[in-house]
A and B are shown apart, each in its own frame.
Chain A
């Protein structure tokens, strides 16, 4: 898969990398167990500071999209669809928050539909 970083984009470079890796994992362009380039290598490829790439990798690790195996490097996580899992976690958190605020299920769903730009 190709990672493209556009310096003129309004999206920060670390976010561009993060989003493209997530998309590649979701579409299967990156399979579980695939090794990602080292931070230094990707930084040289993309003309970025190593810290920027490291930040992106840390965010991907927190999202459980990738896992770091010590000195072996960073790999695409082998535990299912990371996007699906993250969406489920976000949904559970939203449902709990709605309950704690006393918002009933139809109203919570309506808010989500509105946020997604869907018709009521």
Chain B
């Protein structure tokens, strides 16, 4: 039975990625030496001697969750890509499908690890709980809350606009192209991002209902930090899928359109401008977020956030003070 180059490439890439992930999953794999310090810096929290072993165990469990989720998603993505027809964009779609599906798998794996952390035993120590229970808004910033719905809205409008353009085709620029072949790769990615938004919402709600076993405020704050990262991963996956669907859509249409026509020029301009605008907005939002204390600290631990805000390197100072 003849096997085409596309399938061979796909299987080789998937095989290599599987080997890399499986290697990281091996028993006894060491934690990166600076993993704890990086985590503390990101969280804006100190690592006390009591917290350190718990944190190491949770980082390991989360890494394992991400890797298992990513591996499962990689297998599903590879099988789907082999089953589905090739896209007309020369393979960009396949790569983006792998990225989006493995991103979703990783986020779900992270969530499973977070679910399991609710059953951690603290022995006979006193335990701390909080009332009222934090909500989604306490863990996710406005950008995180809205990046998924806005991106999906934008990509939905782009899909509709391209469908209309293909149907109207004002200067016969797309006369040789088949409508379904131009539209479906972007649409499949959009549907995946819609599904991941639904899955993410269900998992987020369930996760917020799960306990956070903690013996003191520091442990609770760390639990909040890890929970906020999990929820953020779930919230950002649909945005990634939606933006990838726009890129794929534009790539497919620009590959099929006659370059000399007015429609062709418009699509070429859109193809250069849209990724640029998306990239700029993404970089601006990320740099804005990196300059502020983490959102969960501002909402749930305002005193710690205020301390972080006061000094330029207060985060590092807090981490160091926790080490003493």
Question: Which A residues contact B (CB, under 8 angstroms)?
Answer: 1-8, 21, 24, 30, 34-38, 40-47
Q: Is the beta-carbon distance between A35 and B132 smaller than 8 angstroms?
A: yes
Q: Mark B59-87, 1 if CB is under 8 A from A, else 0.
A: 00000000000000000000000000000
Knowing A38-B209, A41-B209, the reply to whether A46 touches B132 (Cβ < 8 A) is no
A44 CA / B212 CA spacing, docked (Å): 7
Q: Mark B96-135, 1 if CB is under 8 A from A, else 0.
A: 0000000000000000000000110110111111111100
Closest chain B residue to A20, Cβ basis: B131
Closest chain A residue to B129, Cβ basis: A45
A43 CA / B131 CA spacing, docked (Å): 13
Q: Is the beta-carbon distance between A42 and B129 smaller than 8 angstroms?
A: yes
Which residues does chain A contribute within 8 Å of B124, judged by CB atoms?
Answer: 7-8
Judged by a CB distance under 8 angstroms, whether B217 is at the interface is yes
Judged by a CB distance under 8 angstroms, whether B213 is at the interface is yes
A40 CA / B133 CA spacing, docked (Å): 12
Knowing A43-B211, A44-B210, the reply to whether A1 touches B130 (Cβ < 8 A) is yes
Q: Is the beta-carbon distance between B131 and A37 smaller than 8 angstroms?
A: yes
| Min distance, Cβ B113 to any Cβ of chain A, angstroms | 16
A40 CA / B209 CA spacing, docked (Å): 8
A35 CA / B41 CA spacing, docked (Å): 32
Which residues does chain B contribute within 8 Å of A43, judged by CB atoms?
Answer: 211
Main secondary structure of the interface of B (DSSP, over half): loop
Which residues does chain A contribute within 8 Å of B210, judged by CB atoms?
Answer: 41, 44
Q: Is the beta-carbon distance between B128 and A3 smaller than 8 angstroms?
A: yes
| Min distance, Cβ B185 to any Cβ of chain A, angstroms | 42
Q: Is the beta-carbon distance between B126 and A4 smaller than 8 angstroms?
A: yes
A21 CA / B114 CA spacing, docked (Å): 28
A45 CA / B210 CA spacing, docked (Å): 8
| Min distance, Cβ B9 to any Cβ of chain A, angstroms | 47
Which residues does chain A contribute within 8 Å of B128, judged by CB atoms?
Answer: 2-4, 45
A24 CA / B130 CA spacing, docked (Å): 12
A21 CA / B126 CA spacing, docked (Å): 17
Q: Is the beta-carbon distance between A2 and B132 smaller than 8 angstroms?
A: no
Instruction: Identify which of A5, A7, A36, A47 contacts B131 (C-beta below 8 A).
Output: A36
Knowing A6-B126, A44-B210, A47-B127, the reply to whether A37 touches B217 (Cβ < 8 A) is no
Q: Is the beta-carbon distance between A46 and B131 smaller than 8 angstroms?
A: no
Which B residues from 118 to 165 make CB contacts under 8 A with A? Answer: 118-119, 121-122, 124-133
Q: Is the beta-carbon distance between B131 and A30 smaller than 8 angstroms?
A: yes
Q: Is the beta-carbon distance between B126 and A7 smaller than 8 angstroms?
A: yes
| Min distance, Cβ A62 to any Cβ of chain B, angstroms | 19
Which residue of A3, A42, A43, A44 has the most chain B CB atoms within 10 A of its CB atom? A44
Q: Is the beta-carbon distance between B127 and A1 smaller than 8 angstroms?
A: no
Which residues does chain B contribute within 8 Å of A3, judged by CB atoms?
Answer: 128-131
Which residues does chain B contribute within 8 Å of A44, judged by CB atoms?
Answer: 118-119, 210-213
Given A44-B118, A44-B119, A45-B212, 11 more A-B residue pairs with CB atoms under 8 Å apart are A2-B217, A3-B130, A4-B127, A4-B128, A34-B132, A35-B133, A36-B133, A37-B129, A37-B130, A41-B210, A42-B129
Closest chain B residue to A53, Cβ basis: B129
Q: List 11 A-B contacts (CB under 8 A).
A: A5-B127, A5-B129, A24-B131, A36-B131, A37-B131, A41-B211, A42-B131, A43-B211, A44-B210, A45-B213, A46-B211
A2 CA / B129 CA spacing, docked (Å): 6
Closest chain A residue to B134, Cβ basis: A37
The 10 closest A-B pairs by CB, nearest first: A44-B211, A45-B129, A6-B126, A45-B211, A3-B129, A37-B133, A35-B132, A46-B127, A34-B132, A46-B129
